[in-house]
């Protein structure tokens, strides 16, 4: 019998590593730091890192995606997880604790000068190195690639570099803040790509919101990259941009706001189903929000076998008879809502087993009372979930997840996108298919240590070998679907 979750109330103020207090969200109005403050704050951060020893959990020697390959075959657990819920290798582990607090000054210091730099892989120590790595030696490499373009995979960085591209129109919970303000977020995404997958990436922000302009710009720079990670582009333009680039390019393209969220939602739901002892594909699922994440969640759940699935947007339930729907929503209305439910969110939630919120709006907690027995709620809006997790638990929700790090079961894209891109690049995939995403979700589901429980339905992002597990699942799916390409260049 699943035990009810108990959620701590988030403190209004938190003690920080610098012995100061600050609200959990970053304070407004701080624009710069004095040199003295920078020095003192950097020292405080270094001391805090040493005290908490976070670096050890993400050390390349212990968490290198290239070397920490799983020793067991995950195919069987993926098949069982997709249909029934979780199937785990028992590895007892404590539930992750909330991250330590920090001040706005800590944040500004950590970002000072940006978060990225370029490092040399081939040293230039003398004239011989200089002549080999630049002119005249480099001409021989260029001639080879001109004759055999596939050689670029082995002799340039393109096959191991991801472009992280945004127009700044839908950034985190900040909305349309423009390209310059979006750049720190894209740098952060690149930092995660390096830390968790060992992949280099380049953050690129575009000063255009026109889909034609975005597509043209990305197509023009694509030869320099092995994959394209679209980020924080608002709906519905994001659907068109991703579709057109996927069709135009022979490298993987993925809009992470859609598919990273969807992959982790599927993984979490597999485990949540096992906690309440239900078959996942038999669950009645309601998704509040039919934007980028909502549509992607619906697609991946449908691909994984869930059929009683209802999408709700700001105007009500999506159904086949509803008029004036955007083509993307009309397509989803045709393959979802098999019972023909109409009306508003309350009508959809009556008797539902699962609520997934990706709308950013507020939902009456009383609607949890109208759901089926042992309901599951994923309220993923940040920083304010659609339903307060404590209210959901008090009203009988058996499993509760949010998008926040200070509650159990954070639905965090970092569990998915590093491994998805690593796998796609490792096998030379031409695109990222729905099957590859479902496989990634199966690997994330199976990575939860021990048996899934109400407060542990997703693994910790720092789980050793997690990225490699996801990557291997993606590779196997790509090969099975015939989209894997040249995996090694015969040097």
At 171-195, the pLDDT tens digits run: 987 889 999 999 999 999 999 999 9
Domain of 301?
Answer: 264-421+428-481
Annotated catalytic residue, options 78, 115, 134, 437: 134
Mean pLDDT, residues 104-121: 92
Instruction: Determine the pLDDT at residue 99.
Output: 67
Residue 81 forms part of a structural domain: no
CATH number at residue 243: 3.40.50.10380
pLDDT higher than 60, residue 84: no
| 18, part of any domain | no
Q: Among 251, 276, 295, where does a domain finish?
A: 251
pLDDT computed for residue 244 by the predictor? 98
Mean pLDDT, rounded, for 292-320? 96
Q: Would 104 be classed as within a structural domain?
A: no
Q: What is the CATH number of the domain that holds 433?
A: 3.40.50.720
- For the chain, the domain total comes to 2
pLDDT per residue as tens digits for the range 222-255: 999 999 999 999 999 999 999 999 999 999 999 9
Is 55 or 257 the better-scoring residue by pLDDT?
Answer: 257
The answer to whether residue 19 scores a pLDDT higher than 70 is: no
The pLDDT of residue 383: 86
What count of other Cβ atoms lies within 10 Å of the Cβ of residue 449? Answer: 17
User: pLDDT band for position 100 (50/70/90)?
Assistant: confident
Q: Kindly state whether residues 245 and 296 are assigned to the same domain.
A: no
What is the pLDDT at residue 6? Answer: 55
What pLDDT is stored for residue 98 in this prediction? 63
Check whether residue 174 and residue 310 sit in a common domain: no
Q: Please give the average per-residue pLDDT across 117-141, as a whole number.
A: 94
Considering the domain architecture, whether residues 457 and 401 belong to the same structural domain is answered as yes
Mean of pLDDT over the chain: 84
pLDDT of residue 94: 52
Does position 457 have pLDDT exceeding 50, yes or no?
Answer: yes
Q: Is 134 a catalytic site residue?
A: yes
* CA 270 and chain centroid, separation: 17
* Structure confidence at residue 300 (pLDDT): 96
Is residue 284 domain-shared with residue 347, that is, in the same domain? yes
Of the given ranges (97-106, 339-348, 478-487), which has the lowest mean pLDDT? Answer: 97-106
Query: Which is the catalytic residue, given 78, 189, 407, 437?
Result: 189
Q: Same domain, yes or no, for 329 and 477?
A: yes
pLDDT in the model for residue 361: 86
In this model, does residue 23 exceed pLDDT 60? no
Last residue of a domain, one of 251, 279, 299: 251
Are 288 and 402 found together in one domain? Answer: yes
Tell me which of 224, 251, 278 is where a domain ends.
251
Q: Do both 285 and 182 map to the same domain?
A: no
Same domain, residue pair 226 and 326 = no
- In terms of domains, do 454 and 305 share one? yes
User: When comparing pLDDT for 78 and 404, which is higher?
Assistant: 404
Phi and psi angles of residue 62, each rounded to the nearest 5 degrees, phi first: -110, -20
101 pLDDT band, cuts 50/70/90, is confident
Q: Are residues 238 and 280 in the same domain?
A: no
Residue 169 has a CB neighbour count (10 Å cut-off) of 18
Co-location of 291 and 245 in the same domain: no
Quickly state the pLDDT bin for 382 (edges 50, 70, 90).
Answer: confident
Tell whether 193 and 297 lie within a shared domain. no
Residues 419-441 have a mean pLDDT of 96
Residue 441 predicted with pLDDT over 70: yes
pLDDT in tens, 267-303: 999 999 999 999 999 999 999 999 999 999 999 999 9
What's the CA gap between 87 and 93, in Å, rounded?
16
> What's the pLDDT band for 149 if we cut at 50, 70, 90?
very high
């Amino acid at each position: 019998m699943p035990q009810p979750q108990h959620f701590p109330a988030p403190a209004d103020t938190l003690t920080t590593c610098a012995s100061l207090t600050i609200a959990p969200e970053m304070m407004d109005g701080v624009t710069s730091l004095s040199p003295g403050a920078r020095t003192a704050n950097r020292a405080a951060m270094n001391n805090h890192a040493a005290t908490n020893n976070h670096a050890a959990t993400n050390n390349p020697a212990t968490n290198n995606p290239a070397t920490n390959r799983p020793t067991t075959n995950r195919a069987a657990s993926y098949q069982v997880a997709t249909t029934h819920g979780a199937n785990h290798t028992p590895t007892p582990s404590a539930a992750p604790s909330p991250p330590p607090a920090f001040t706005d000054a800590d944040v500004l210091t950590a970002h000072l000068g940006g978060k990225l730099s370029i490092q040399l892989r081939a040293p230039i120590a003398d004239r011989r190195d200089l002549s080999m790595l630049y002119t005249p030696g480099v001409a021989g490499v260029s001639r080879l690639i001109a004759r055999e373009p596939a050689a670029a995979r082995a002799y340039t960085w393109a096959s191991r570099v991801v472009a992280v591209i945004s127009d700044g129109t839908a950034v985190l919970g900040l909305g349309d803040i423009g390209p310059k303000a979006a750049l720190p977020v894209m740098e952060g995404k690149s930092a995660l790509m390096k830390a968790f997958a060992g992949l280099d990436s380049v953050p690129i922000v575009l000063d255009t919101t026109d889909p034609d302009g975005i597509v043209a710009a990305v197509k023009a720079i694509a030869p320099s990259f092995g994959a394209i990670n679209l980020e924080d582009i608002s709906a519905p333009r994001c659907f068109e941009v991703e579709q057109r680039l996927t069709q135009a390019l022979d490298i993987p393209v993925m809009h992470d706001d859609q598919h990273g969220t969807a992959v982790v939602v599927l993984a979490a739901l597999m485990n949540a189903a096992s906690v309440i002892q239900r078959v996942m594909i038999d669950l009645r699922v309601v998704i509040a929000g039919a934007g980028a994440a909502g549509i992607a969640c619906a697609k991946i759940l449908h691909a994984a076998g869930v059929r009683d699935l209802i999408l709700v947007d700001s105007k009500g339930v999506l159904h086949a008879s509803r008029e004036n729907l955007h083509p993307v929503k009309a397509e989803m209305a045709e393959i979802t809502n098999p019972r023909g439910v109409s009306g508003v969110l309350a009508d959809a939630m009556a008797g539902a087993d699962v609520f997934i919120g990706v709308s950013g709006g507020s939902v009456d907690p009383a609607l949890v009372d109208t759901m089926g027995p042992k309901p599951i709620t994923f309220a993923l809006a940040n920083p304010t979930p659609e339903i307060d997790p404590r209210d959901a638990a008090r009203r009988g929700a058996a499993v509760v997840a949010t998008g926040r790090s200070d509650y159990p079961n954070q639905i965090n894209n970092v569990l998915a996108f590093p491994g998805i891109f690593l796998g796609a690049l490792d096998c030379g995939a031409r695109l990222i298919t729905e099957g590859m995403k479902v496989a990634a979700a199966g690997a994330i589901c199976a990575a939860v240590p021990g048996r899934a429980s109400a407060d542990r339905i997703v693994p910790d992002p720092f789980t050793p070998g997690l990225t490699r597990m996801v990557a291997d699942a993606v590779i196997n799916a790509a090969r099975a679907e015939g989209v894997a390409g040249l995996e090694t260049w015969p040097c």
